């Protein structure tokens, strides 16, 4: 059983297009995250949602819009894609609410986005 | 705010030899420390973590790490590596009330047969 799943696994698209990446977790967790891993393997958090409420919004262009229809899903929509958006995007989830005792984050397999 | 430094971007090691992957962090508050492993074309998997208590923590696959507060380090070690340990290893830190993980730039461990 997949704990944190992402679709699609690979996404190749042209500059200027709009695309979405979906994330689902079946762990019953309250908090979900999006991370970006660039070509140099550097990982940086983009967003965090707790029970459908936005908690973290790092310095990310507003072309990126996360959407959480329920606490098991956190989708990432990207408008007007640019070359620099090419990266691997990881979804993660953790139990419990923000500010509570440590909760391990479980990562999805990643979505490799290539913008041509 | 926290930061993590992994000075070694690549570490080649002969099979069955010991390895140490270095991690130093910077923070104005107390932190939790983590090592994650990323196998080729896969997501991240937690290897081990330091939350409190004993400074020597053991993780999966025979890895261990030691928290050294005075040196602000959390180096990862394994006494004898295997081919299957070939992967990217990330050190990460978070504040005690902050679930945001700050990652280092990663160390690629390559095992030489």
Which residues from B are below 8 Å from A99, CB to CB?
97-99
How far is CA A74 from each of CA A4, A38, A113, B36, B97, rounded to the nearest angstrom?
11, 20, 17, 22, 22
First to last CA, chain A: 34
Residues A39-85 pLDDT 10s? 888 899 998 888 878 887 787 889 999 999 998 999 999 999 999 99
Q: Under an 8 A CB cutoff, do B43 and A109 touch?
A: yes
Closest by CA to A103, choosing from A91, A92, A95, A111, is A95
Residues B49-101 pLDDT 10s? 998 889 999 999 999 999 999 999 999 999 999 999 999 999 999 887 777 88
A66 touches chain B (CB under 8 A): no
Q: Would strands A87-94 and A106-107 be described as parallel, antiparallel, or unpaired?
A: antiparallel
Q: Is the pLDDT of residue A96 over 70?
A: no
């Amino acid at each position: 059983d997949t704990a944190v799943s992402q679709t699609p696994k690979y996404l190749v698209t042209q500059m200027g297009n709009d695309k979405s990446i979906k994330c689902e977790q079946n762990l019953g967790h309250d908090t979900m995250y999006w991370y970006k891993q660039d070509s140099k393997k550097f990982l940086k958090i983009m967003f965090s949602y707790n029970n459908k409420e936005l908690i973290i919004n790092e310095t990310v262009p507003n072309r990126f819009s996360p959407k959480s229809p329920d606490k098991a899903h956190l989708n990432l929509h990207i408008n007007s894609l640019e070359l620099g958006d090419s990266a691997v995007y990881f979804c993660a989830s953790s139990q419990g609410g923000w500010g509570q005792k440590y909760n391990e984050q479980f990562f999805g397999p990643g979505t490799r986005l290539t913008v041509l | 705010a926290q930061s993590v430094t992994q000075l070694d971007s690549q570490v080649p090691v002969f099979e069955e030899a010991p390895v140490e992957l270095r991690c130093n962090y910077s923070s104005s508050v107390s932190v939790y420390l983590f090592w994650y492993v990323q196998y080729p074309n896969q997501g991240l998997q937690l290897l081990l973590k330091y939350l409190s208590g004993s400074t020597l923590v053991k993780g999966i696959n025979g890895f261990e790490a030691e928290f050294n507060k005075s040196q602000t380090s959390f180096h990862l070690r394994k006494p004898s590596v295997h081919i299957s340990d070939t992967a990217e290893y990330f050190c990460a830190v978070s504040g005690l009330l902050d679930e945001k993980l700050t990652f280092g730039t990663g160390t690629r461990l390559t095992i030489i047969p």
